[in-house]
Structure 1
Amino acid sequence: MIQPRPLLLRADASPAIGTGHVMRCLALAEAWQAVGGEVVLLSSALPAPLKERASSQGVDVVNLPAGFQGDEDTRFTAQTAAQLGALWVVMDGYHFPHTASSMLQAAGLHVLWVDDFGVKDDFAPDLLLNQNLGASTEWYPLLGPQTELLLGPRYALLRREFARWRGWKREVPERARRLLVTLGGSDPANVTAKVIEALVLMGDRAPTATVLAGAANPRADALARMLEGTPHQLCRQATDMPALMAESDLAIAAGGTTVWELAFMGLPSLLICLADNQRRNCRELAAAGAAVDMGWHEEVTPQLIAQTMEQLIVDAPRRAAMSAGGRALVDGCGAERVCLHLREGDLRLRPATMNDARLLFEWFNEPAVRAVSFSPEKVSWEHHCAWLKSKLSDEHYVIWLAEAGAGRLVGQARFVLEDDTATISISLAAESRGQGLGTLLIWAACRRLCREHQRIRRIEAWIKPDNVGSLRAFEKAGFQFLAEKDVHGQPAVIYEWRCGL
């Protein structure tokens, strides 16, 4: 088992800050744990419900000493990472000075910086993640050339509980009858109360609502009293958010990180902007046709909420279009993609040589490999040696072996190059399967091919329809469905990777 180094998350939560920074870090933690990595969250005065959630997820929580800020905070973060044996530190919070990045790097650490606004400062984390729609390189004019940008909703950090809903299709009823209200973990402006007032104004015309009170919401009891005598219910602890979204026909939500979950679930939403960092989300999602931008919370009245709901609950075509628009933006693989970047150093690719002939011969003829091949017959040793010698000298052919750990060979990736298109095939050694290495190998090999062969603009993978594991590995690596066709007289699913995306 190739176990990644521990991952250190640095994020805070409070009624003023909200819970979004910690929640999306916990989503990344789940993806890291899925490939066998340990995760620690370093936080200042984390609210008890969030601490319990992290612990239940298997994430250890370390408390930042009271009063630590700025450089003192950064030094303690570096010390914690060193004690943990972490290679990467994830920084998610607007109050962290950008100088923290260079301080952590000077301590021998790699830095993933999570941002929402854009940065005008001169700083250079190893990776910078902005999952928001419309994020671009123009938001970071002074970023160092060594920083790799991970931009847009394809990197949206969704929790693992959403994964099982990837193939689900929403049915849009003629009239929306169930409403989900989710206005952040703390809702400091108490906008939830306005929504409840709107429901009361609508009376029997209102959809039945589930109103969420987040972990850091200090007014949950008052909200419960407002709902007494109505058909609506308050939920203080959502144990299955995807199921709540699936059973709802419409949502009223804040413009924070939850919008990517709503988009993924195809849930038409009215978005109310609760903080400056949400303005772009609300505006861009509305422009994409995936939501309605209700505006700044102080300007949104119960009457406006009721009026907008009245119109949308009977407009099934519009809700269907909003649902499709959301699903087109978020595919639910964002956390796994970010982890691929964090793990890029776990595999080393080297060109194959004739000295690898015996190992490749054994891998090619392994029964599990032949079963998923479009040419399932076993290959003779003589034919294999002749084939390998020919391909190693062919400029249209690339064969790389993947090494992990102390030079242990774990698999191979092959490409056939033709004009601006390459076709990939991979295989893993039997003892290296089931560790997430297939996705990592696909991703790392494709990135390297695009760098070293710049005429290649796209890469295709031809996969048997019943090879579910391979289909999933290519999807997680960033391939998208292109077509179905016959390969050597057998049905095949064609997936595509676009270089530069």
Structure 2
Amino acid sequence: MQVYIRTDASIQIGSGHVMRCLTLANQLKQKNVLVKFICRELTGNMIEYIRQQDFEVFTLKEIDVLSHWDWTTEHWQEDARGTINFLQNENQLINLLIVDHYSLDMKWEEMIRPFVGKIMVIDDLADRNHDCDFLLDQNYYINMERRYKGLVSEKCMQFLGPNFALLRDEFLAIDPTIILRDGEIHNIFIFFGGADSSGETLKALYAIERLLHDEVKVNVVVGVSNPYTSKIKEFCDSYKNIQLHCQIDYMAKLMLEADIAIGAGGSASWERIYVKLPSIVEIVADNQKELTEALETTNAIYSLGKNSDVKEHDIFQQLKLLIDNPEKVKRMAEQCNYVMDSHALSEQKLATQILKALF
């Protein structure tokens, strides 16, 4: 069985799409499925990183534009033709094409349709029509079951909600039911995604500087495409209790050790929720707004709002409030149980569900 994945990463796009696709790719690989990627060469891409994970990557030509999203939306036919060129070179049936890309919709999918057995879309915007057989939206929304009504065919199999979240095996190996959090904050975890083009990691570090003392440990995670890595490293190196980690494969371990997280909305939300890690969240992209606001209604997270409106003092003030109120932090951890069913998630691993549906 052969599967292709069409997705991108860049400074503008971030790394979330690629990372969640890699999680699904690894799940499929464990079931002896051959998975290949198609990615466009963009500044801040993760093509070499995907190859380092032992997946073949075919590359679409680089484009020099301010907004890759807008370019792809306008030039979707060129993108489709480039994708088809790779699909046609295969000597065997391509059973499934997975597309995780906000700029591609039904028109692109209809053009691809004759060259693949089935199409799966990973989305969380619900703002455009799709021609697909499967759709994944792993996010938590109030209107989850009605979210794609009229946007996909009635025959489309929909995997909706955090019980289908694409979590890496390092997380699924953990039994969240045995995680106990007392609400005391002695370990702070900071992660704003692989790119963090707006410098939120530095903002958070400057914000918590006044709260640092010998009993507080801080772990900071950045991706390979973070443009502020050198400045972040310089800051971290000046404190013995701050540790910087770059493009790691032990995120779950750091989250387990942490008592509070400061980070962005998006895919990392499910990693934090799974290990019951209370979070102070900034919305760093428009597609994170609806999800973050919905999660805040559960009281599992605290949202500071749009990152452009967040000042260092806002982060400091909220963190200080939580440090002084361990019972509130403990309740945030407990609320994570109502957002995600960890047992159901491990039982209905997405790759298994997809393969059942294909055959």
TM-score w.r.t. the length of structure 1 is 0.64
The residue aligned with 1:411 is none
The residue aligned with 1:162 is 171
SS at match of 1:136: helix
**What amino acid sits opposite 1:309 in the alignment?**
L
SS at match of 1:141: coil
The residue aligned with 2:66 is none
**What amino acid sits opposite 2:136 in the alignment?**
L
Select 1:71's aligned residue among 77, 85, 95: 77
How far is 1:80 from its partner?
2.5
Select 1:326's aligned residue among 336, 345, 354: 336
1:125 matches 2:132: yes
Q: Does the 8 A contact of 1:132 with 1:153 survive in 2? A: yes
Matches within 5 A, 1:454-473: none
How far is 1:251 from its partner?
0.3
How far is 1:300 from its partner?
1.1
Select 1:225's aligned residue among 207, 222, 234: 234
**What amino acid sits opposite 1:195 in the alignment?**
A
Higher relative contact order (CA 8 A, sep 6+): 2
Alpha-carbon separation, structure 2, partners of 1:269 and 1:209: 14
1:263 matches 2:270: no
Alpha-carbon separation, structure 2, partners of 1:49 and 1:65: 12
CA deviation digits over 1:444-499, x for unaligned, max 9?
A: xxxxxxxxxxxxxxxxxxxxxxxxxxxxxxxxxxxxxxxxxxxxxxxxxxxxxxxx
Q: Does the 8 A contact of 1:10 with 1:41 survive in 2? A: yes
In structure 1, runs of 5+ residues without a counterpart are 348-501
Q: Does the 8 A contact of 1:31 with 1:335 survive in 2? A: no
How far is 1:78 from its partner?
3.1
The residue aligned with 2:352 is 340
SS at match of 1:288: coil
Q: Does the 8 A contact of 1:155 with 1:335 survive in 2? A: no
How far is 1:237 from its partner?
2.8
1:186 matches 2:208: no
CA deviation digits over 1:332-376, x for unaligned, max 9?
A: 7379543234213564xxxxxxxxxxxxxxxxxxxxxxxxxxxxx
Q: Does the 8 A contact of 1:118 with 1:140 survive in 2? A: no
Select 2:10's aligned residue among 5, 11, 14: 14
**What amino acid sits opposite 2:7 in the alignment?**
A
The residue aligned with 1:38 is 34
Q: Does the 8 A contact of 1:27 with 1:158 survive in 2? A: yes
SS at match of 2:47: helix
The residue aligned with 2:246 is 236
1:28 matches 2:36: no
Q: Does the 8 A contact of 1:90 with 1:112 survive in 2? A: yes
1:51 matches 2:47: yes
The residue aligned with 1:359 is none
SS at match of 1:292: strand
Q: Does the 8 A contact of 2:87 with 2:115 survive in 1? A: no
1:103 matches 2:115: no
CA deviation digits over 1:198-248, x for unaligned, max 9?
A: 111324398321111222101100112233422322222323010010111
1:314 matches 2:324: yes
User: Residue 264 and residue 314 in structure 1: after superposition, are their counterparts in 2 closer, same or farther (change >3 A)?
Assistant: same
User: Residue 18 and residue 140 in structure 1: after superposition, are their counterparts in 2 closer, same or farther (change >3 A)?
Assistant: farther
Q: Which entry has the higher C-alpha Rg, 1 or 2?
A: 1
Select 1:204's aligned residue among 213, 217, 221: 213
How far is 1:85 from its partner?
3.3
How far is 1:265 from its partner?
1.0
Select 1:81's aligned residue among 87, 90, 100: 87
How far is 1:291 from its partner?
0.7
SS at match of 2:37: strand
CA deviation digits over 1:418-458, x for unaligned, max 9?
A: xxxxxxxxxxxxxxxxxxxxxxxxxxxxxxxxxxxxxxxxx
1:214 matches 2:223: yes
TM-score w.r.t. the length of structure 2 is 0.87
Select 1:278's aligned residue among 288, 299, 307: 288
Q: Does the 8 A contact of 1:31 with 1:336 survive in 2? A: no
In structure 2, runs of 5+ residues without a counterpart are 64-71
Q: Does the 8 A contact of 2:183 with 2:328 survive in 1? A: no
Q: Does the 8 A contact of 2:280 with 2:301 survive in 1? A: yes
Which has the larger displacement, 56-65 or 214-223?
A: 56-65
Alpha-carbon separation, structure 1, partners of 2:149 and 2:215: 44
SS at match of 1:86: coil
Greater strand percent: which structure? 1
Q: Does the 8 A contact of 1:157 with 1:335 survive in 2? A: no
Aligned CA-pair RMSD: 2.4
How far is 1:47 from its partner?
6.8
User: Residue 46 and residue 171 in structure 1: after superposition, are their counterparts in 2 closer, same or farther (change >3 A)?
Assistant: farther
User: Residue 50 and residue 120 in structure 1: after superposition, are their counterparts in 2 closer, same or farther (change >3 A)?
Assistant: closer
Alpha-carbon separation, structure 1, partners of 2:216 and 2:282: 18
CA deviation digits over 1:402-427, x for unaligned, max 9?
A: xxxxxxxxxxxxxxxxxxxxxxxxxx
Q: Does the 8 A contact of 1:199 with 1:206 survive in 2? A: no
The residue aligned with 1:60 is 56
Q: Does the 8 A contact of 1:26 with 1:54 survive in 2? A: yes
How far is 1:49 from its partner?
8.2
